[in-house]
Structure 1
Amino acid sequence: MKTAAQLTAVAIFWAGVFHVGHWTMDEMEPMTTAFLRFTVAAITLWPLLVWMEPKDWRVRRGEVLPLIGLGCTGIFLYNAGFFYGLEGSGPVTASVVIASIPMVTALLSALILKETFTGRQAVGLVLSFAGVFLVVTEGRWELAGWKGGGIAWLTLAVFSFSFYTILGRRWMVGITPLKATAYATAWGAVGLGIAAFFTGGWFPEQSSLGSWLGIGYMAWFATVWGFVWWNKGVARWGAGRTAVFLNMVPLFTLLITVVTGEVPTLFQITGTCLVVAGVSLATIRWSEQTVPLAAKETQKSGS
């Protein structure tokens, strides 16, 4: 019961990022928001790493480039796409597009790593993409023009995180999840800091307490606590069973939309259900060997 409650809380934390991030960007630029979030998360994760893994926290020579690569793809590129995409599309649409990451990862794994792509996964892929298309276009073909670039940025996020996951399968041999997350977050924060310097600065000129609370929420709840509880769930229940809770993220995002007084459209509701059904169909019965490096790694981005 405790594990289920913690994993449900993680799904809520990650769903909350879509709304809190959107509200925070009313006062902060996307890159500034991402930079501050992951800087705070990195500062928090480092003491946690040293405390929990005192004998293995130092990076070895052969781990430097892999960890930089993971930081560039899973933190820097993913969050650049995520926050610009969130700004241009809105919480519900962003959550539905991001929810397709496991399906895109499975497809790319089949193409790049020659992994098996089953009929169940193919059906799940079609359902998921149909749900994304329905939400993005609102049922009208003429709206398939990327909504001012927001969907293009989200597409970058999806593919960069999928490549991050695939690369991680090869590079993260012998590197613990906490160590990989701490170093990837630190390198990613450096990249986001450089981007923020040229786009909106490291700190907003004017911001309210609410925006800084939003940064704290995304850093501590969605990234740090989300990471800790997610990995406890994986350790206790295994990756396959734990990954099911990822499918709750777009549903909770939709629920938060209702709670905050917005009325989701029929297309958003239907599209969300299609994506959740597609991902569930494709992943819920995978074996421990094939499931969710995509799901297992999602916590590292804190999405």
Structure 2
Amino acid sequence: MKAPLYLVLATLFWSGNFMVAQAAVASMTPMDLTFWRWTLAAVPLLVLAHLVEKPDWRAALRRWPVLLLLSVLGMSGYTLLLYGALGHTSAMNASLITAANPALIVLMAMVLPGERTTRWGWAGIGLGLLGVLLVLTRGELHRLLSLSLNIGEVMMLGAIFVWGCYTIIARRLDLPAIAATAVQVSLAAVTLAPFALAMGVRLPQLPAEAWSLAYIVVFPSLGAYLLWNLALKTTPPGTAGNYLNLIVVFTAGITVALGTPLSLVQVAGGLLVIAGVLLTGMKGRAQAPAPETDVPATPRLGDRDARVPRG
């Protein structure tokens, strides 16, 4: 019974990241949030990985080129785009676009030799993309012809594309999940440092900023990663991936609780996205042979990326 609770709490923490970061970017830059998030999380994650997984750190460091690439994509690139987007669009819309990521990953992975999906998979991809289009155009699909999309929503599309690239590479990485994540976070802190200094990155000046950053470091960056990976010890990746749909549900609940009503288009788009994800993940679709790896939690094509979560 512990694993489902861990998965629910992890998705709740990531949902909070959307809401808290949206408030934080009103006074802090995306670079402020991204740099301090990973800098402050690096050492605790390294300690956590050492205690939980006891990895061979020398073997991990020998994989530094791919870990550096993953760090640039998943830690620096995705997070900067996410926080930049939240300065221009709502947390609800950002979470709805993010929810389409599993279907996008399946679509992107099909360019690889031997990867394929079935009619259910294609139907899921179609529904998910339709749901995202409804959210992006606010129900007015003709807006696509004039490309009059919100800059924040365009940035979120870029963010999920970057995460898709990250996922396709990361799912074949034969390293313990928390240790790999900890090294990537550490590399992000180091590689972002020159840019942060050049851009005049600053620590929080107001209590609200400090609390926002503290939440982002403690809950989405540390707590969620630990809970997710602990759950994966007893939960199949595909099953765990279904819990990612709760990010939209929790974000919607927090949005309504804070007094912001949801539009009918957002509700319809969200339902289509979730239905698409579920269809894409249905058993019985064609799958590629699993890559050789020592990490049992690494998902195959069509499984949600359950090993290294987003947010």
**TM-score (ref. length: structure 2):** 0.88
Shift of 1:284: 4.6
Shift of 1:151: 2.0
- Alpha-carbon contact 2:280-2:302 (below 8 Å) kept: no
Alignment partners' CA distance in 2, 1:147 and 1:196: 29
Q: How does 1:31-50 map to 2 (within 5 A)?
A: 31-50=31-50
Q: How does 1:175-254 map to 2 (within 5 A)?
A: 175-199=175-199, 201-204=200-203, 207-254=205-252
Alignment partners' CA distance in 1, 2:233 and 2:85: 33
Shift of 1:203: 1.1
- With 186-195 and 275-284 compared, the bigger mean Cα shift is at 186-195
Q: Tell me which of 161, 164, 174 is aligned to 1:162.
A: 164
Aligned residue in 1 for 2:80: 80
Aligned length: 297
Q: How does 1:56-205 map to 2 (within 5 A)?
A: 56-60=56-60, 62-141=62-141, 143-144=143-144, 145=147, 147-170=149-172, 172-173=173-174, 175-199=175-199, 201-204=200-203
Aligned residue in 1 for 2:293: none
**Cα RMSD (Å):** 2.1
**Structure 1 residue 268 and structure 2 residue 270: aligned?**
no
CA displacement 1:77-127 (0-9 Å, x = unmatched): 111211111211110111111111111111111113431122111111111
Contiguous gaps of at least 5 residues in structure 1: none
Could you say what secondary structure the match of 2:305 adopts?
helix
**Structure 1 residue 7 and structure 2 residue 17: aligned?**
no
Give 1 or 2: higher helix fraction. Answer: 1
**Structure 1 residue 290 and structure 2 residue 288: aligned?**
no
- Alpha-carbon contact 2:99-2:245 (below 8 Å) kept: yes
- Alpha-carbon contact 2:3-2:231 (below 8 Å) kept: yes
Alignment partners' CA distance in 1, 2:141 and 2:276: 22
Cα distance, 1:268–1:15 mapped onto 2, change above 3 Å: same
Alignment partners' CA distance in 2, 1:158 and 1:92: 15
Q: How does 1:14-29 map to 2 (within 5 A)?
A: 14-29=14-29
Alignment partners' CA distance in 1, 2:91 and 2:148: 15
- Alpha-carbon contact 2:256-2:262 (below 8 Å) kept: yes
- Alpha-carbon contact 1:244-1:284 (below 8 Å) kept: no
Alignment partners' CA distance in 2, 1:197 and 1:146: 35
Alignment partners' CA distance in 1, 2:197 and 2:113: 37
Alignment partners' CA distance in 1, 2:12 and 2:78: 20
CA displacement 1:129-159 (0-9 Å, x = unmatched): 1111111111124544364421221122111
Contiguous gaps of at least 5 residues in structure 2: 288-296
Alignment partners' CA distance in 2, 1:70 and 1:237: 25
Shift of 1:291: 5.4
Shift of 1:290: 2.5
Could you say what secondary structure the match of 1:235 adopts?
coil
Alignment partners' CA distance in 1, 2:120 and 2:302: 15
Alignment partners' CA distance in 1, 2:163 and 2:282: 20
Give 4+ residue runs of structure 1 displaced > 4 Å after superposition. Answer: 286-289, 291-294
Aligned residue in 1 for 2:294: none
